[in-house]
Structure formats: structure tokens, C-alpha cells
Structure 1
Amino acid sequence: MRQGGPRRALPVVVVPGMLCGADLWSGVAFPAGREVRHVTLERPDIGALADDVLSAVPGPFVLVGLSLGAIVGFEALRRAPERIAGLCVMSANAGAPRPEQYAAWSAMDALIGAGRFDEVVERTLPDMFPDRRPSPGAAARYRRMAAAVGPDAARAQLAAQATRQDATGALRSARCPAVVLGGARDALCPPAFHRTIAAALPGARLHELPGVGHLLPWQRPDAVTAALRAVLTAADRGAPAPALTPP
């Protein structure tokens, strides 16, 4: 006689990047039959945001994070490695902040405090796209998404960025399937960052996408969908993530 009931499908916790909201994932096909929770970034501390991720669902889950969302995921992994059943990381940096980053975040916070949020959006916009040259339609879409996030959340995100620490030690302790996606033309997080992350994550699969910038879910939603499915399939089996088909 069979013992116990069917195994619960692992939920997915999705964490966006700075100035990004739900529209970031609109082209990604999340698998049916899974609970999908979107975590917003509205607290000024990476640890507090990691706690938000860990409280989004009970038990183990698969984490999908882009940029600041991935950094928050790294901290969740540091705090509760047994909860992270799979990782899909994209457009990220596992290193500690650099002095020029602190200065840039401080300058942007001052602009927002002075009521100049739109200037911050324009300052960040080029780095979201390949070769820093978005089409007019892509630029307008980014402005709409950033406006929906708003200045208060943006200031919290800037403050959270400054509380980051090097995450490579936490990544080395991971024991879950992982896929790392990076755009070959990502101005913010170049390929070297993703190679470092993949090298630190035991058994991670690295997939570099030619011609792609920072906002991978917009520019290659098919690749993000494939990575997520690979991680979920492996996590369900407790196996390493399989290699992905080249684009």
C-alpha cells in the first residue's frame, strides 16, 4: 500500500531588480500548477528583504531573482540554505559594494529626496539595455515600470544596496540545482560577474546570452522560461540542473 500523499509541488518565489515590478516577468511562462509569489523590495536592508523572501511561503521553494532580487536571494540562502530548493539567478553581482557604487547610490538618493525621481530613472535607463541603446518603446516601458515602483520604494532599494555584503561564501554552501543567466551585453553586470557566481555555486549551469542586456526577462523571456523549468525539474527530483539548449 502506498504511504503518504502526493508530494507538494515546490512553490516559486520571484524577486525583481531595482526599479522593477511585476511587468518585468510578464513574458515569462511560469509553469502551471505551482504557487508563484512575487516579493516587492520596499525595505532599506538586505537582511530584512531576505526575511520577506523566506516568509513568502512555508517550507522549501525555488527562488528566481534578477539583479537586486538575486542579491536578496543570496542573503536568504545564507540565512536558510535548507529552504532554497533551487536557484534561477540572472543579471547579478555577488560581490560587496564598491566605493563608486556607494557614491552613486548616495547621489541618486539625494536627487529623489529633492523631488527629482524622474532624473534617477533617466540615469539608470541606458544600463538596462544592450549597448545602452533602448528603443523608444523599450525606454517608455521602463519608465512606466519605474514610475509604478515609485520614489519611496526606490529610496529603500538604494539604502538596501548599501547593506550588501560579499555573497560568494553563501553561494559555496548551496546544495540545490542552480542556473545562472547573464547577458553578454549587460553594462551593469557583465559576463565576468556571472562566471564568478556560477563558479561559486556547486554544480551550477551558466548560460550567457549573446546580444542581451540587463533586463533578461524582457529581452529573452524564452531563455528565462527554459531556465526556470530546468531548475524546477531538477529541484523536484533533487538533482543538479540540466544543461540548457544554446540560444
Structure 2
Amino acid sequence: MTDSAPVVTVSGMLCDATLWDDVRHSFGPRVVDVVPTAPSIAEMAEEVLVASDGPFVLIGLSLGAIVGFEVLRQAPERVTAFAAMSTNAGAPTKAQRTGWATFDAQTRRGGFSEVVRDSILPTMFAAPEPPAHHAGRFTAMAEQVGPEAFRRQLAAQATRTDATASLPEVAVPTLVLCGTADALCPPEFHRRIAGAVPGAELHALPGAGHLLPIERPAEVADHLTDWLTRCNTVEGNACPSS
């Protein structure tokens, strides 16, 4: 990785670029934010690849990291380092596909706000009823993304495939962050990712939920700052172990 490589952030489903506001200071001077809204994971990867010229550091959360796996598959030469948070490299389950179809139908009938408030918000933080300021930030992001983009994100989720087999081919410094109280993507998902990517480092934040940059910004920023600093000072494009 070089000092000139920008950081490209890729937000999760129903999240906009404000997801990163409390940790943005850890990214360095050049940051490009991508809110993926294409109707397939492959097309979302293209959204990332056209967002900047040349190589970049990719930092993704949830759906954003799933898109990151596809970016690494399509164009590994473009990515100089990869941070994956609160995510899952596996293929969708039958239950997930059913849930996404239900959300899509409810949204199509005008129930977008109810889906966000009643079905999705309770899974975003460590507690099903998060503090009001956390709930407010998530619902504000969701309203900014809007129902039509949400439906495209749901369609994209349904195109996911199991990325696990390609993870041993990842040849860049990789950081994996998760919360031990994440209802959507538990630590086991992240142990599998970190175990498959050569040299990856894993940090689990005790008692944290899904939206780590909002719920635990100081710890996330510390991990990112330390990791990016070590990556920038190591030759051969490999981070040292922490």
C-alpha cells in the first residue's frame, strides 16, 4: 500500500456515508464514500471500482464488505488493503431470502418506514431497543437511502454467492472487526473469514452490535488507525501481526 492510495468506504444496507462520520478521522486525507444501490452484488462492485482511479484501500461494513469480497474477486489488483466489519462471506440462507422477499413486498405496499423501525432497527445494535440517538441516526440514514434504493439492495442481497472459497486468494492486508453481540453477523462468521484470509487479523468488540462505527466509534477508529499506520509502514504489502 502507498500513502497516496485513497480509502474507499462502502456502507451497509440502509446506511449512507454518515455511517462513518465518527471514525472518518482515522481514514487519512483522501476518502471516497460509496453507498451501493445497484440491483446485484456484481454491479455494486462496479459502483465501487468506478468511484476512484487506481488502487485504493477498501473498508466495508455488512453489505459493503460483501461487495468488497466481489471487488477483490473482480479486480484484486485495485485493492491495496481490506477491512471487513459486521459481515458474512457465506451464501444467503432460505430464511434470509424469505425475509428479504417479505421486506420487499411490505416496502412495495408503502410500508418502508415500518420495515425499518419494526424489523431492521432491532437488529442493528447490541440491544433490540437501542438508545434514542443511535436509533435516530440509523432511521435517518434509512430515510436518506429511501425505499426504491432499499428494494434494489434487497435484490442485490439475493444475488450473493458463497465467497468463502475465494478468501484464501486474498493477498492484501486484511482487518476483520465484529461485535460479540451482533444479532445478524455473529463472531463465528468473522472467525471463518479471518481464518481463511492469509495473515488476516481479527478483533471482536465485547458487547457491541452490528453498526460498530456508530455504537463503538472510539474502538473502531483506534483499530483502523493502528492497522492503516502499520500497513503504510510495511514493505511488501503485508501488515504485521498485532
- Shorter chain as denominator, the TM-score bin is over 0.9
**Which residue identity lines up with residue 165 of structure 2 in the other structure?**
G
Cα distance in 2, alignment partners of residues 29 and 44 from structure 1? 27
Q: 1:54, CA displacement in angstroms?
A: 1.2
5+ residue gaps, structure 2: none
- Residue 14 (structure 2) pairs with residue 19 (structure 1): yes
**1:59-74 aligned within 5 A:** 59-74=54-69
In 2 relative to 1, CA 32–184 (structure 1 residues): closer, same or farther, beyond 3 Å?
Answer: closer
In 2 relative to 1, CA 234–176 (structure 1 residues): closer, same or farther, beyond 3 Å?
Answer: farther
Equivalence for 1:3: none
| Paired residues, number | 238
- Residue 129 (structure 2) pairs with residue 136 (structure 1): no
**Partner of 2:88: helix, strand, or coil?**
coil
- Residue 173 (structure 2) pairs with residue 177 (structure 1): yes
Equivalence for 2:91: 96
Cα distance in 2, alignment partners of residues 26 and 32 from structure 1? 11
In 2 relative to 1, CA 145–9 (structure 1 residues): closer, same or farther, beyond 3 Å?
Answer: same
- Residue 98 (structure 2) pairs with residue 114 (structure 1): no
- Residue 221 (structure 2) pairs with residue 241 (structure 1): no
Structure number with greater Rg is: 1
Q: 1:31, CA displacement in angstroms?
A: 4.3
TM-score (norm 2): 0.93
- Residue 148 (structure 2) pairs with residue 148 (structure 1): no
**Partner of 2:5: helix, strand, or coil?**
coil
**Which residue identity lines up with residue 159 of structure 2 in the other structure?**
T
Structure 1: which 4+ aligned runs deviate by more than 2 Å? 29-34, 226-244
Q: Is the 8 A contact 1:62 1:232 kept in 2?
A: no
Identical-residue share of aligned pairs (%) = 51
Q: 1:35, CA displacement in angstroms?
A: 1.6
Equivalence for 1:37: 32
Cα distance in 2, alignment partners of residues 52 and 99 from structure 1? 27
Q: 1:225, CA displacement in angstroms?
A: 1.7
Equivalence for 2:71: 76
Provide the aligned C-alpha RMSD in A: 1.6
Q: 1:243, CA displacement in angstroms?
A: 4.5
Q: Is the 8 A contact 1:85 1:235 kept in 2?
A: no
**Partner of 2:84: helix, strand, or coil?**
strand
Q: Deviations over 1:93-116 (max 9, x none)?
A: 000000011100000000110011
Q: Is the 8 A contact 1:132 1:187 kept in 2?
A: no
Cα distance in 2, alignment partners of residues 167 and 32 from structure 1? 26
**Which residue identity lines up with residue 61 of structure 2 in the other structure?**
L
Cα distance in 2, alignment partners of residues 142 and 16 from structure 1? 12
Cα distance in 1, alignment partners of residues 238 and 222 from structure 2? 15
Q: Deviations over 1:33-82 (max 9, x none)?
A: 53210011111010000011111112211100000000000000011111
Q: Is the 8 A contact 1:177 1:234 kept in 2?
A: no
TM-score (norm 1): 0.91
In 2 relative to 1, CA 32–224 (structure 1 residues): closer, same or farther, beyond 3 Å?
Answer: closer
**Partner of 1:131: helix, strand, or coil?**
coil
Q: Is the 8 A contact 1:11 1:36 kept in 2?
A: yes
Q: 1:239, CA displacement in angstroms?
A: 4.3
Range moving further from structure 2, 24-33 or 171-180: 24-33
